[in-house]
Structure 1
Amino acid sequence: MKVSAGLNKTAAHSILIALYAFSTLSVHAAENDMIWRYAMHPGDNLIHFSRAHLINPNDWIKLQRLNHIKDPYRIPIGFILQVPLTLVKQVPASAQAVQVSGQVFLQLGAQAPNPSTLVPLRLGQALGPGATLITKDNSKVTLQFADGTLTSLASNAKLVLDTMSLYSGGAMVDTKLRLQQGQAETVANPKHIKGNAMQIITPSAVAAVRGTKFRVDADDTHTLQATLAGQVSLQAADNEVIVNAGFGSQAEKGKPPMPPTMLLSAVDTTSLNSQFTHLPVVFDMPDQAAAVSWQGKVATDVTINQLTAEFTSAKPQLVFEDIPDGHYYLSVHARDAYGIAGYESVHAFTLNAQPFAPALVSPSAGERTGDARPMFKWKTVANAQAYQLDIAKDVDFKHIIEQRRIENTEYQAVQSLPPATYYWRVASIEMQADGRDDQGPFDQVAQFSVRPIPSKPDLHQFWIDVADNRVNIHTLPPADGLSYQFNLDNDANQQKDVWVKRGVETDYQFLLKEYGKQTLYIRHADSDGVVSAATVYEFYAYPE
């Protein structure tokens, strides 16, 4: 059975992946992948060609028979000569590490005293057949092969360079790699040289590619494949699907591959924040149909080679807890329900969080103070030699009324603040080697208000008597905007607030619940519910 998506299958841009019944998911090149197709040039003939390119020059006779050539000395210019690779001269090729980021190691071979010994891979280092590469967290390496093919190995991966061969002095290249774990993305045969062959073998797959760009995620039981350019032939359990650019598929061991599904589009990053002043750095992903998880990588370069952090999330939010200040690029892919990653988006952002801003102590957020010269306090920040304090009338700090550089963690306002709402913030300052201040960002902003606290009532304005178990309170009206609050304690029984009344503005009376010594607390309260200190009136009540 064959299912196709997109363009028709072409031999020059194809991957063939086959799943066998036992333990491997395999990709095989077509039979003609073992044939070198050589276009005859002016002055070429079969005899000269065989002397230059074949292991045994006398095998020109085999080429004559295979290509149905009548005269070995007269062959038309441009004639495509089909040459079996088994006849062509070959020498071992090498790969070169053209990009190394993070912890990338070369594992020494079995002939070493300790086969598990790891040595750091150097940029530009040449690697021959049998070399084994291992990447750790937040690491990446890109290898370039003889035909210009580029393979990038992601974090926590292991790759073995199995065989690499140059045929006839480099006229054709054959490369075989073993990806034992992790992810690899390949741009194969970018010059589209006919006859070049490449295989990437995983514990569950073998990908034979020519002139295409693709991504493969594999484990022991599943292969996820996304075609970014060219075409992929994915085979499993005697079934095949053709996966063209813009589509992906999944092959599970022992089951036919699923029909191709369209890759998710690139995440729309236009709404993502590009300036951060505190940690963690959080990106809220926009709604995207069919996306069920997101994978993000942070790098210092736009090509996402110099990795700093990675994060994968099942909810639409990427969180990076601890990265240093700097300019970065976020690479993000959305994944569908099969786990197939869609197209990449890259978003630039800047982090300026250090030195970290201190935690604000007082006035706390929303606090009201009656002190027109409030005391400002904040927490100590390690390595901070000073702090920048701003006090403003607006939350945007466009109208700053006081600004101070302070070398401790508290400050009392010099001038009295008129009754109003205010905002304050503090940034940390570190001294640089040249004596300059390195001021970090402001983080918290706390709002507070300065409003006089009501004065406590004058007891001479009250006349209180007790009769028939009833307390009668006679008073003058409170000042505008104020009311009275009464709290009664029964001291004899050690009972608090046995009677409470708020919002009283005129004479009032209430029944006693207990006898003995009573303490009445009288307070002023304003419209915000802020109360004054209490005026205390004590009396005794006895049964009549």
Structure 2
Amino acid sequence: MKRSIRWLLLSLVLFWLCAQAADDEPEWLYTMRPGDNLWSLAQRYLGDGGASVKLQRYNQIDAATKIPPGTRIHIPLSWMQQQPAVARVVQLRGDVVLQHSGRQPEPLTLGGRLWMGDSLELGEVALVTIELADGSRLLLGPGSHITMDRLSAYGDTGMVDSRFRLQRGRVESRVRPLKGPGSRYEISTPAAVTLVRGTDFRVGVESGSGISQSEVVKGEVAVNAAGESVKLKAGFGTRIEPGKPPLAPRPLLPPPDLSALPERLDAVAITLDWPDQKGAVGYRLQLLASGDDALLAAHQLEQSRIDELVLSPGRYQVRIRGIDGLGLEGLSSRHLLEVVKPLPAPSPEPEPQLRLEPPAFNGAWVSFRWNQPPKANHYRLLIISEQTGLPLFSRRFETTVLSLPLPPPGRYRVSVEAWLAVESRWLRSNLYRLVIPPSWALP
């Protein structure tokens, strides 16, 4: 009898310990549907149909094959099978080097796939956007170096585990709300680890010093460093030095005033300037296609102005934010800008043409004819002797034809000039050489 009581007490203790362990174990809940059974469930999510016995015991189910639809099945996260997840390159600008684990470096290509262990190194003007298995996006700025520490998923549950290691540069994350206890999104730097559960946030690492910045635009993140954790809400940021805890949350600079920026420009190389922002020691300017999140260019500026920004005709979204003394980037202002094709410069009016035709001879007479240029008021015919250089004939008249007696034998240069009163100048024709032989001399 006493032995039976001892066994009963021992069983109760073991049951309590198992229940306590179950309370501490993260679980994923599955709702049974028509046609489901524990064997198919175990095969699908645990990778082994035989594990259905474990599920039956864990959920204290007597008849494993007669579970009504709507029943919630508790599955310990540690039992679930993880599979490699893939990330896709959805935007690429500039030179980016992809390093697969154990392989030679190669250029990154648009549409390429990234796996756990891959690293990316961006050039000084490069930009990359990566889309994860759950639709979250990671934007890498110029000069960044990042490694995909973990890219995995729990089957088709929607739970995704994404972890990145940022050695330098800046990243902007747009994380979809994480599903289930197995979902994780984490960015580690030499100074801190930033964990999120559905948010828009930014992380930066200064080259050389390893100092990190974390800024939250939407949602909430936790920043862990040197054994301490800081929670950041939307509109706050922190700075972390390697080996030190994060600074207390600091309000981010508000969006700068962009109301003075033009909405339409007809120049190819443009200048944009806006009022200086209190507390800003620099600015981040990003250029995006209008109506899209595709980043076209990014600039870090020391003043509230950018010159010679070369843009093709089209619609753009300009995104600008201030940078404070700790290197924290503030909240962004957005401005829509349309660049139209510059109107061509008006073509100069063609130079009027005055053309003297070859002279026509008629017995003892010679006739000269020329065209009438636009805006010509009157004319002057010049006949100059090549021997003396003196004018033989020079007279003003208003007609475009003139008949004269033959000049004495000799060589002459003949031209006509038209007076353009609007421009206050003479327009000269082509030069015609006139030769009168001695045999043409009048008796």
Offset, 1:156: 1.9
| Distance apart, 1:325 and its partner CA | 4.3
Match of 1:199 in 2: 186
- The yes-or-no answer on 1:90 pairing with 2:82 is yes
> Aligned-pair distance for 1:196?
1.6
| Corresponding residue for residue 264 of structure 1 | 253
1:227 to 208, 216, 231: 216
Selected match of 2:319 from 325, 331, 335: 331
Q: Deviations over 1:80-133 (max 9, x none)?
A: 624123x22232221112222333443455433xxxx432412x2222333332
In the alignment, the residues of structure 2 paired with residue 214 and residue 413 of structure 1 have an alpha-carbon distance, to the nearest angstrom, of 72
Aligned to 2:241: 252
Equivalent of residue 81 in structure 1, options 64, 69, 74: 74
Q: Return the offset for 1:234.
A: 1.9
Q: CA deviation at 1:186?
A: 1.4
CA shift for structure 1 position 64: 6.2
Q: Deviations over 1:227-269 (max 9, x none)?
A: 1222112233333222112221222223332221222222221
TM superposition shift of 1:75 = 8.4
Contact 2:29–2:75, Cα closer than 8 Å, also in 1: yes
Looking at structure 2, the residues matched to 330 and 302 of structure 1 have their Cα atoms a distance apart, in angstroms, of 11
User: Which blocks of at least 5 consecutive residues in structure 2 are unaligned?
Assistant: 1-22, 350-419, 425-443
Which structure shows the higher helix fraction? 2
- CA-CA distance at 1:150 after TM superposition: 1.3
SS of the equivalent of 2:83 reads strand
What SS does the corresponding residue of 1:182 show, helix, strand or coil? strand
- Contact preservation (8 Å) 1:278, 1:353: yes
- In structure 2, relative to structure 1, the CA distance for the partners of 1:134 and 1:355 (3 Å cut) is farther
Partner residue, 1:103 = 95
TM-score in terms of structure 1 length: 0.52
Q: How does 1:26-425 map to 2 (within 5 A)?
A: 35-42=26-33, 46=38, 48-60=40-52, 69=60, 71=62, 73=64, 77=70, 79=72, 81-85=74-78, 87-107=79-99, 109-112=101-104, 117-122=105-110, 124-190=111-177, 192-219=179-206, 220-276=209-265, 281-303=270-292, 305-308=294-297, 310-315=298-303, 317-327=304-314, 328-351=316-339, 414-415=422-423
* Counterpart Cα distance in 1 of 2:421 and 2:26: 86
Using the alignment, how far apart are the partners of 1:33 and 1:143 within structure 2? 35
* 2-structure distance, mates of 1:198, 1:294: 28
SS in 2 for 1:321: strand
**Which amino acid letter does the alignment assign opposite residue 255 of structure 2?**
A
What is the TM-score when the length of structure 2 is the normalising length? 0.63
Task: Give a deviation string over 1:205-242, Cα, whole Å, max 9, x none.
Answer: 33333322211112343221111222112233333222
Q: What's the offset of the Cα at 1:54?
A: 1.3
Instruction: Indicate the SS of the match to 2:41.
Output: helix
**Distance of aligned partners of 1:340 and 1:66 in 2 relative to their CA distance in 1, 3 Å threshold:** farther
User: Retained in 1: the 8 A contact 2:126–2:143?
Assistant: yes
SS at match of 1:168: coil
Write the distance in 1 (CA, Å) between the matches of 2:288 and 2:43. Answer: 51
Unaligned runs of 5+ residues in structure 1 are 1-31, 358-384, 389-411, 417-544
- The amino acid across from 1:103 in the alignment is D
Q: 1:34, 1:216 → 2: CA distance?
A: 31
| CA contact 1:280–1:319 (8 Å) conserved in 2 | no
Mapped contact 1:50–1:57 kept (Cα < 8 A) = yes
Instruction: Go from structure 1 to structure 2 and tell me whether the alpha carbon gap of 1:224 and 1:38 turns closer, same or farther (over 3 Å shift).
Output: same
Question: 1:411-450 to 2 correspondence within 5 Å?
Answer: 414-415=422-423
Contact 2:266 2:343 in 1 (8 A): no
Contact kept in structure 1, 2:95 and 2:107, CA below 8 Å: no
Q: CA 1:233/1:161 → structure 2, altered by over 3 Å: closer, same or farther?
A: closer
Deviations 1:395-425 (A, max 9, x none): xxxxxxxxxxxxxxxxx99457xxxxxxxxx
Q: Letter of the 1:271 partner, please give it.
A: A
The structure with the larger Rg is 2
Q: Give the Cα separation in 2 of the matches to 1:52 and 1:276.
A: 58
Q: What's the Cα RMSD here?
A: 3.7
1:503-525, Cα deviation, whole Å (9 max, x unpaired):
xxxxxxxxxxxxxxxxxxxxxxx
Question: Shift in Å at residue 63 of structure 1?
Answer: 5.2
